[in-house]
Amino acid sequence: MSERSAVQEPLLKYANEIGWTRVSRSEALQMRGGDATALYFEDVLKAQLLKLNKEVIDESNCTDVTRKLRQTASHR
């Protein structure tokens, strides 16, 4: 049994089942703002932060939150 058949394929199947969308490498790079080392898609993160944290995050502080997340990620 390979890692691909034991781990990767079941994970991709599950991700598809829960509504995640696969993107190509070139799309992923574009969604990361051209930064191949970025950990997330900036626009998707912002949209989800606003959607899931309405009590504490709004348009006025969302950019600050994502900036702090970027700084935290760069110190790993």
pTM: 0.70
Distances, alpha carbon 69 to alpha carbons 1, 15, 38, 43, 59, in Å: 37, 24, 11, 14, 16
The answer to whether 34 and 50 have CB atoms below 8 angstroms apart is no
Instruction: Provide the pLDDT for residue 47.
Output: 96
Instruction: Provide the pLDDT for residue 74.
Output: 75
- Per-residue pLDDT of the chain (76 residues), as tens digits, is 899 899 999 999 999 999 999 999 999 999 998 999 888 999 999 999 999 999 999 999 999 999 999 888 777 6
